[in-house]
Structure 1
Amino acid sequence: MDIIIRNARVLTMDDALPRAEAVAIVGNRIAAIGGNAEIEAMATPSTRIIDAKGATVMPGFNEAHMHIFGGSVSLNELSLFGVNGFDTLKEAVTAYAAANPDLELLVAQTADYTILSEEERVTRHHLDRIIPDRPFMMVAPDRHTAWANTIALERAGILHGRDVGVGNEIVMGEDGLANGELRESNAMRPVAVMSRTGGREGLGVGTGGEPESVTADQRAGDIAVLKQGLAYCASLGITSFQNMDGNLYQLELLKEIEETEGLPARVRMPFHMKNFMPLTDIEDKAAAWRARFDSDKLRCNFVKVFMDGVTEGETAVFVDDYAHKPGWKGDPLFSAEHFNRVAVEADRLGLPVAVHAIGDGAVRMVLDGYEAARKANGPSDRRNRIEHIEVVHPQDVPRFAELGTIASMQPTHPPGSAGLPLEPYLTYIGEERWPHAFAWKTLVDAGATIVFATDWPVSPLPPLSCIRDAMTRTPWREDMPDHRLTLDETLKAYTRTSAWVEFMEDRKGVLKPGYYADVVVLSGDIEDRPSEGIADLAPVFTICDGRITYEAN
């Protein structure tokens, strides 16, 4: 035996043997699960013995929706999480600028839409009062909106506006100049390219394209950034993640890391299909990348699409009008006919599809596309997904089970959770839609398969915090449904079910002999904690592919 974990409360996620006391690992596989005496008898002089001291041992967390390159970059940027009010914002930005005198562009993340107040929206003029002489951009938690100061807009060449394509907007002021608010990636990118990484971390999600040129030093810097992010994932107990943006550049960087020192987590990447790409790219690129990157450590075997934006930026698409803006439902990024063709072609090639759809109108369009693929190609076990599903129309709830569509949702996203304010979200969707927003339990009760994740760096990455948020969500009104799931359902959404979504349920997501040794040892018993205290736990050991990738001091 290479590693034995004993004195544990093992949650195997295996219905045949749901609990145990000890785990034995040989190479990169689970060798045995059982009682302490039985497993300890297998030890040899070279076996590494880990005493769990009565704490939970479970399959490593599978983060089902995140952005590794952007998240890794954000670790070195200013976080405005929890910052409220102009004076507090000024203090944080001024200190960051002083500590980073050589940055061409100062970037801050997680700037809430109501960072000034619930009544006042940020403009370039506010930011000019904080830092007028250096380009500065701050990005909303959802990464669909940013705000830049005047000098940043000038140097980016967008102070006087620019056509940035459907669903994207450089918001203009009454003076005929950009007011500083940039909606969606095409509007944000002209500023982002001035950053330390040249905005390369945003290409996969923003354009689906490749960097025009990268020097050897830049590539080495990008690899170093990714390694930092991967190590952070391991420290949180993550042994697998499913990335939701992708391009060939990211894949090649990750492959180099795997070939030189080994990835500390299993990575699933998509081909990102944008609305301006020819349909032939699905076969010429997506299918080709699937063949090239096809190991259990690094795979590229699905297609990612954006159908709409976000509610707070008024770019989400609804069936009915925004409550605060009669006559406006939002514009989809794909027409129904265009998306149907994408869904049909991906399905024909055996490629699952994952679509960002926030509003109930966008969700309906995606379901329609999946139904069109089934009619065109016949039924298949494709395991298509919809990402976020912030609002679902009641008429569409049963369609998830009927079409076998996975609900990929984020417990960190409901307003009022994880430090997020209630406004402007609640006003924008209106009270009639409140019961159908972030409707985890409604979907599960209707037979839908659900997976949980954080959408990092949109929300903080720690899975234990996300699980806490899922277990402690408070309804916005007393008569609203309670959408919390059980702890067992929530943990499975982060382990076994996430492996099933990847078509890897026969080898990971469960602690079972013959399965990959992807394991996390926690600092305490998760079942013995009140829901509010789950985030106080921490990984003590993370093991991926039989290798210890993180060990707490």
Structure 2
Amino acid sequence: MTPTADLLILNARVLTLDPGRPKATEIAIIDGKIAAVGAKGELASLRGPGTEVIDAGGGSVVPGFSENHMHLFSGSAELVHLQLSGVHGLPALTEAIRNYGKDRLEQVMLFAQGADYTILGGEERLTRHHLDAIWPDQPLALFAPDHHTAWANTKALELANLLHGAELRPGNEIVMGDDGLATGELREMEAFSPVQAAGGFARYRLGLATGGEPDPRPTDLEWRTDMEVMRRGLEYCARHGITTIQNMDGNLYQLELLAAIEKEDGGLPCRVAIPFHFKNFMSLDMLEKASAMSKAYDSDFLRSGMVKVFYDGVLDSWTAVMVEPYADRPDYVGEGLFTPERFREIAIEADRRGLQIAVHAIGDGAVRAVLDGYEAARKENGARDSRHRIEHIEVVHPDDLPRFAELGVIASMQPPHPPGCMGVPLEPTVSRIGRSRWPLSYAWRTIKNAGARICFASDWPVSPISPIRGIQAAMIREPWQATDPDQSFTLMEALEGYTTEGAYAEFREDRKGRIKPGFLADITILNADIESVAPDKLGEVEPAITICGGKITYKAN
């Protein structure tokens, strides 16, 4: 007897990303997997009395989106912070902070996200004095969109014991003024983590800041609060059509929270991968914890198996590592969070353990050092299908382009990040890079043409989470000058970056990333036919229904 479908999707424009059958109009789902894909009427025999039928209304149906680089726990917690994206000028900033803060006077600290480096206009940098004039009597901290710089008022600096500066490891800086006191600008995590801790935000940033566990162990109330924060973030992801999350900061605590949610009725609405975050103050034996996390969590819904590393910072605060000096700071190339020698040791040991490695590397000097580390690991341990990754690659040196394919390294890149895309201002980034390096900045097409595998992501909460808007950004990307190469992607290439290439990056291409019989039933139904929408209007398309493992995890009203 032929089994009947649990779910039947009809009247759809299915983009399967399966070369064997690129398009279809119907999909049948049984027991959490895709049972059949067909043309109109072909799956009628699978319809039974208990089948739930979904009419896609002629909208596109695509494999569930894989968000291949994001920060789930901190992003979830930040959803309730003041959001400053699009706010420019001191008057607008003042109004936004005062309107937000007036009803939150009981909070230990006010947090705001998305403050552009040029939020004041021109080259003037935000300081504690600006913030004191806006909000003097309560601790206040603003964070740049890239989450690599913060600006704190005097109350926040005093609460975090940073007003007089502090000794920090390389790659981190508390900017000091001529008066011997902190200006309020805090560059990189070690500089601003004390502010977050003083404001009660430390647990949500542990996976980024230390890679360690909450100490002391959270109380029952804190645990329940953190569960609710995590649920809120997962629901937010599902609302945007996401079925897979590749998190890029991690600790055991996040895995424990997600495992507890998985046991609840309904389970996890998204599949989640959580890495072990190796920091520059750790010893190599800490990688044993990464191996233990990998063994303990390795299912299709919740897994580990990756080591995440930050090699450098970001361009806008001169903390990215360059091969040649910054164009606007010709005596400086940046300072890495690791030395090349130390990173090679880490890469060799993590690779020896069979762990995948993902490294934040923004500058071309950092990218080169990471590739050198991966090459050293291959020479030491032998070649294997490691699929090590480099995250961001905002500038790459031409000599290093062929090395991605030669070493099998995945380029994990973010279409919303380039200045000029999705409202990101051109300055100060383009002046930091310099015209001579523009052709190899955010160079998705150039890297792809060199033979690399590329997966896409938002880096949420650094950029808006929407994969649809990310696809649009990849398609309408324009060069900064006429002589620069075109780095844009086609619709199908960008869609692959958020689906099949994400599955490949996590060694799951045999079961996800395509709409194909036998694959996991992770599907996103959109409210329009994306092939007929103009690229510059694509961001207006929204998910209508998200399905993960055969369960509807989001449905628009």
Q: Pick the TM interval, shorter chain.
A: over 0.9
Runs of 4+ in 1 over 6 A off after TM superposition: none
Q: Which residue in 2 is equivalent to 1:39? A: 43
Q: Secondary structure at the match of 1:475?
A: coil
* 1:374-433 per-position Cα deviation (integer Å, ceiling 9, x unaligned): 100111100000000000000100111111101100000000111111111111111111
**8 Å contact from structure 2 (residues 144, 150) kept in 1:** yes
Q: 1:325 aligned to 2:329?
A: yes
1:203 equivalent among 203, 206, 211: 206
Q: Which residue in 2 is equivalent to 1:268? A: 273
C-alpha deviation, 1:276, in angstroms: 1.0
Give the AA of the match of 2:231: K
Q: 1:228 aligned to 2:209?
A: no
Give the AA of the match of 1:225: V
Give the AA of the match of 2:349: E
**8 Å contact from structure 1 (residues 6, 40) kept in 2:** no
* 1:185-240 per-position Cα deviation (integer Å, ceiling 9, x unaligned): 111111101334x3211110111111112111111111101101100100100000
Distance 1:195 1:263 in 2: 29
Distance 1:105 1:286 in 2: 34
Q: Which residue in 1 is equivalent to 2:383? A: 379
Q: Secondary structure at the match of 1:407?
A: strand
Q: Secondary structure at the match of 1:38?
A: coil
Q: Secondary structure at the match of 1:239?
A: strand
1:101 equivalent among 74, 99, 105: 105
* 1:43-92 per-position Cα deviation (integer Å, ceiling 9, x unaligned): 00111110111110010000000000111011111100010000000000
Q: Secondary structure at the match of 2:391?
A: strand
Percent sequence identity over aligned pairs: 55
Equivalent positions of 1:270-419 (< 5 A) are 270-282=275-287, 284-419=288-423
Q: Secondary structure at the match of 1:478?
A: coil
Distance 1:517 1:384 in 2: 27
Q: Which residue in 1 is equivalent to 2:159? A: 155
Give the AA of the match of 1:476: W
C-alpha deviation, 1:118, in angstroms: 2.1
C-alpha deviation, 1:14, in angstroms: 0.5
Give the AA of the match of 2:211: G
Q: 1:216 aligned to 2:216?
A: no
2:96 equivalent among 89, 92, 97: 92
* 1:421-466 per-position Cα deviation (integer Å, ceiling 9, x unaligned): 1111111111111111000000111101001000000001011111
Distance 2:270 2:234 in 1: 7
2:176 equivalent among 172, 177, 199: 172
Q: Which residue in 1 is equivalent to 2:242? A: 238
Give the AA of the match of 1:537: V
Distance 1:392 1:281 in 2: 30
* 1:159-178 per-position Cα deviation (integer Å, ceiling 9, x unaligned): 00001211111110110000
Q: 1:434 aligned to 2:438?
A: yes
Distance 1:156 1:410 in 2: 33
Equivalent positions of 1:429-468 (< 5 A) are 429-468=433-472
C-alpha deviation, 1:107, in angstroms: 0.2
Which structure 1 segments of 5+ residues have no match? none
C-alpha deviation, 1:102, in angstroms: 1.8
Distance 1:424 1:535 in 2: 26
C-alpha deviation, 1:36, in angstroms: 2.1
Give the TM-score normalised by structure 2.
0.98
Q: Which residue in 2 is equivalent to 1:80? A: 84
Give the AA of the match of 1:271: F
Distance 1:92 1:479 in 2: 40
Report the number of matched residues.
551
Q: Secondary structure at the match of 1:41?
A: helix
Q: Secondary structure at the match of 1:170?
A: strand
Distance 1:192 1:104 in 2: 11
Q: 1:53 aligned to 2:66?
A: no
* 1:293-343 per-position Cα deviation (integer Å, ceiling 9, x unaligned): 111100011100010000101100000001111210001111111111111
Distance 1:550 1:513 in 2: 23
Give the TM-score normalised by structure 1.
0.99
Distance 2:50 2:198 in 1: 52
Which structure 2 segments of 5+ residues have no match? none
Distance 1:324 1:108 in 2: 28
